Structure 1
C-alpha cells in the first residue's frame, strides 16, 4: 500500500513539475513578448522624438525669389522708366471740394452709450469734433506745403511707381553719413517720420555718424502704386524695397521698421543678409516661429524660463493678454479675409475712414485710454498730425489697397514660406514700448535672430513710436547702429604677426562700445596706465573685485590709472543682463571706473581687443581667458605688460601698478 501511495505521490509530483515547467515556460514567453514590445515602443518613441526635434530645429530653405517679377498692369512695359523723378504732394481742388461736401452732408451719428469712452469703438461725440475740424479748420494748402518740406520722388520698380522721401545730409568732417531705410506700418504712412527725421540727420555729439534717410510709401499705401494682381505679400514688398535701395545706389544699408514693416524689414534681413547691415525694430516679434507658442505656454507655468522677472507682466498672465489680443485684432481678421468689403465703406465715407483709423491711434497707444471720451488722442498727438495721415489715405484712395497686405500675409501661400523659422545672422536690435500690442521675449527672439544684440525697454508708449516718442526712438536708433558697427568690427579676423603683437600694435588701435551704445576709441586713454578686466555681476568673485577695483580707482586715478571693465557672459552665464541691467548694477555698486558693453573674450566672436591682449600676454595654460576677472596691465604707451589670473585680487596689484604709475607721474 505504501508503495502504491508513493507511486501515486511520485506521479502527482511529476504532474506538478510538468505543470510548473509549462508555467515557467509561459512566463518566460510573456516576458520576452513584453520586452520586445517595450523595445519596439522605445525605438518608435526615439524616432518620433528625433523627428520632432528635427521639425523644431531644422530651418526651412530660403524661398526662391524673382527680383524682377512684374506687378504693374499688363502688358508688361519692357521700357519701363528707371529714372527718378521729383514729386510734389498736391491736394487738388477737386479732392478737397469732394471731401468737404461729404463731411458737410454726413448723416447724423448715433449717440454713444453713456460712460463707454472708446470701449465700443471711436466715441461719436469726439468724432464730431474731429470731422468739424477737418471740414472747417484744417488748412489743406498749408498742410500740403508742410508735407513738401522734405524732398519727394517717384521711380518705377517692377512695374510699380514707388513714392519715397529722400533726406540727404551734408557731409561734415569726421562724421560719417550712413544710409537708413525707414518703413511705416498700417494705418501709418510716411507722415509718421516727419518729427524724427531732424533728430537723425543732425550730428550727435555722442556719435561719429548721422543718417541719410529714405522713407518709402509701401506699395498700395499713399502715393505708391498698388499691385495689379494677387500674390504681393511681405516678401514681395521686401524685394521692391531692396530694389529701390539698389536704384538709389545703396548696396549696404540699415533698416528700421515696426508693425507690418517689422515683417518686411525682417524678411529683408533674412533674404538679403549681404545688403542689410543691421535691423532695428520697434515691434520685435516672431509670430510664426514654431517654438514661439510652445515656449510661451511653458512660460505661463514657469515664467523665468522665457522672461526676466521685471518684464513678466508684459507677457503674463497669459489669459489677460489673450483677451486684449482678441479685442484688438478684429480689424486683422477682416483685413486678412475681406479687405475690399470694408474698403468700400471706408472709401465712400470720410467719417468712417476717420473712425476706423483714429480708434487705432488711441487704443494702440495705451489701452487705458479705452474708457476716456476723447481717447486722449489730443494729449498724445496734434490734430494736424492725425488729419495729415487721414488726408493722405483719402486723397490717394489707398485705404483698400493698404489693407490687402494683410490678406497677402495671413494666407497659405505666404505662411508656407515659414520665413520666421529661417534664422538670420544680421545683427538685430529691438525697442519694446510698454503698450505695444504684441510682446515677444528676447529668449524667443533669439530663435530667429542669432545676433539679437539688445532690447530697450520703455516704460510708456505704444505702436506709433515715431509719431508719439520721436526723441526716444531716435536715440535708440543711434545706439543700435553704433552696436551694429561694433558687431561688424568684431567679425573682422584679427591676424597678428609676432612683430605686430610686440612692437607695432597698441591698444590705441582698437575701439569699444560703452553701455549707451557709443563707440569709444581707446586712443582717448593715451598716456595713461590701464587695468583691463573682464567682469561679471553674478560671480563669486564679484563682490571682492568690484570693491577693490573701486578702491584702486579712488587711490590711483590722480596718478593716471584708468580701469576698463568689460562685462562678459561666457563663464557660467554670470552676466546675463542687458546694458541697462549692467548700468543699474554698477550704479548700485557705486562704480567709478569705466564699464563698457557686454562682449565675448573667447571663441569665434571674441572682441579684437581681447584677442590682441591674449596674443600679447599668453596665459600659463593657454592663451584663452580662464574665468571672470582676468586682469591685464597696459603701460602708458599702450602696450600690454602684465597679466593676472582671476584669483589675484585687485588689491594685490598695487606694487605692480606703481611701477608704471610712478613712471607716468615722473613723466
Structure 2
C-alpha cells in the first residue's frame, strides 16, 4: 500500500534534514588543512639496499634490446664490430624465437563459442576474437611496431632499487625566447606509455599540429614499476605513493625542480599523490579521472536525482550520473576485474601470462566498454571505432613480451587498503580536470573541488571515455593547453 502524500513528504523532509546534518558534521571534521604526505624513502629491489649507494646514471634504452646480458665477452678495438654484428644476430634470433612461440600458442588456442546474440555482454565475444587473433597471427608486424615505439627516445635509470623506464621527448623547435614546460604524463592499467604517442606531438610541437604555440612542453612518460619495461617490485607494499615518490625523484634527476603532471586511471592517483607529497614542486596538476571516496558529496548520490541543484549539480552532471540503476549495474558489470586483482592477482596472472589470446581478450575488452559502455551492444565491441588493431595489439605485446601482466595486477592489491593515508588529504596545487562523458563514472565539479580546492579549470568534454590520450588526443591536448594558459595568466 502506497503511503499518503503527507507521509511521503515527511519522509523526504527527514532525509533532507539528515543530509544537512551529515554535511555539517562532515564540514567540521574535514575543514581544509594544508596537509602533505610524508616524503619517506624505500627500497623495492631484491635484497637490501647496497651500502655503496645507487647508480643514478640515466641510460639510453631501445625496445628491441634484450635485458639479458651477454657475459664472458671482452671488448677490444679488434672485436667491437664483430660483437655488434653478433648482438644484432642474437637479437634477431631472439625476436624470431619470441614470435615463433607466440604464433604456436595462438595456433593452439581453444575458444568457446559465444551465446547467440550475446555480443559483448558476456565479455569478449569469441567470434570477433577470431578476427583479432587471425590479424595478430598473420598480418600484425611487431618489428614495424617496435620501430614506431622507438620513434621517441627511451631511457632507464635506477631509483629505490628498481630500473625505471621512461620516454623523454623534447620540442623539435621553440618560439624565440620560450623555454619548454616539463610535463610528466602517467598511464594506468591496462595501458602503457604507448597511450601518449599521439598526444605528444600536440604538446611538444603544437604549432605544426594546429594548436597555439603559447605553451610548448617537453614530455616525460614513465612506465609504472611492474608495467612494461619498468622493473617490478620484489617486495610487498609497493603502492601509488611509492610510485609517486619514485617519479618525483625521476623528475629531479632530469633536472626539473618544478613541473606539470597529468594522468588518468592509476596515473591520476599517482599524480595526485605527487601533489600531496611535494606540492611546492608541482606547478599544476591535470587529470581526466579522480578518485574521490571520503567526501560528503559522494553521500549525496542517492539524493542527487531529486535535489541535484541543492548539491550544486549541473544539468550535464544530472545527464551523466542518472539513472542510478543504470550506473549501479554498469559499475557492477565493469568491476569484476577489480575484485580479482585486489585480492588474488597472481592466480589469474598465471593464466594470462601463459596464454596470449587470453591476455588479449582480458585487456582489449576494457578498450571496448571503458571507451563507451554502449559498445557492449555491438558484435565487435566497437574496438575499431576508436583504435586500430595495430595500436591495440601493440599495447597487448608490451605486456606479453615483458611478462608483466601479473606484476601490473598486483598494483591493485597494494593500493586497496583501508589505511591509505592519502585519501583524506586535500590537494592544494592548481588543478585542471577534463570530464570525458564515457568515463566509467562521472565526477562532478563539486566533487572534484572538494578534494582539489584550487581547481581552476573543469571541462565537460564533448566525447571520449577512459583512455583519453589514446582515444581523443586532440581534445585532451587542447584542455591541457587551456589549463596551463589559465594558470599562467593568474
TM-score of the two chains, using structure 2 as the length reference: 0.85
Secondary structure of the 2:241 match is: helix
Change (3 A) 1:51 1:338: same
Relative CO higher for 1 or 2, CA cutoff 8 Å, sep ≥ 6?
2
Secondary structure of the 2:294 match is: coil
Aligned with residue 456 of structure 1, among 456, 459, 481: 459
Does structure 1 retain, via aligned residues, the 8 Å contact 2:292–2:451?
Answer: no
Q: How does 1:392-471 map to 2 (within 5 A)?
A: 392-414=398-420, 417=421, 419-471=422-474
Secondary structure of the 1:456 match is: strand
Secondary structure of the 1:454 match is: strand
Secondary structure of the 1:224 match is: coil
Does structure 1 retain, via aligned residues, the 8 Å contact 2:34–2:428?
Answer: no
Give deviations 1:128-148, integer Å, cap 9, x for gaps.
Answer: 111111111111211111111
Aligned with residue 75 of structure 1, among 31, 48, 51: 48
Q: How does 1:307-318 map to 2 (within 5 A)?
A: 307-318=313-324
Does structure 2 retain, via aligned residues, the 8 Å contact 1:434–1:462?
Answer: yes
Give deviations 1:406-433, integer Å, cap 9, x for gaps.
Answer: 111111232xx1x233122211111111
Shift of 1:53: 4.7
Aligned position for 1:288: 293
- Distance in 1, Cα, partners of 2:413 & 2:344: 8
Deviation >4 Å, runs of 4+: 47-53, 58-61
Shift of 1:452: 0.6
Gaps of at least 5 residues in structure 1 are 1-46, 488-667
Secondary structure of the 2:350 match is: helix
Secondary structure of the 1:86 match is: strand
Secondary structure of the 2:304 match is: helix
Is 1:374–2:348 an aligned residue pair? no
Aligned position for 1:348: 354
Does structure 2 retain, via aligned residues, the 8 Å contact 1:295–1:306?
Answer: no
Aligned-residue RMSD, C-alpha: 1.9
Aligned position for 2:6: none
Secondary structure of the 1:455 match is: strand
Aligned position for 2:253: 247
Aligned position for 1:302: 307
Aligned position for 1:100: 103
Aligned with residue 178 of structure 1, among 181, 189, 194: 181
Secondary structure of the 2:489 match is: helix
Aligned position for 2:82: none
Aligned position for 2:137: 135
- Distance in 2, Cα, partners of 1:49 & 1:106: 55
Shift of 1:83: 0.3
Aligned position for 2:71: none
Aligned position for 1:55: 29
- Distance in 2, Cα, partners of 1:50 & 1:209: 42
Aligned with residue 485 of structure 1, among 466, 483, 488: 488
- Distance in 2, Cα, partners of 1:286 & 1:111: 38
Change (3 A) 1:456 1:290: closer
Aligned with residue 148 of structure 1, among 150, 163, 176: 150
Shift of 1:257: 0.3
Larger Rg: 1
TM-score of the two chains, using structure 1 as the length reference: 0.63
Does structure 2 retain, via aligned residues, the 8 Å contact 1:176–1:208?
Answer: no
| Aligned positions, number | 435
Secondary structure of the 1:176 match is: coil
- Distance in 2, Cα, partners of 1:430 & 1:111: 42
Change (3 A) 1:79 1:93: farther
- Distance in 1, Cα, partners of 2:183 & 2:22: 46
Q: How does 1:228-267 map to 2 (within 5 A)?
A: 228-267=234-273
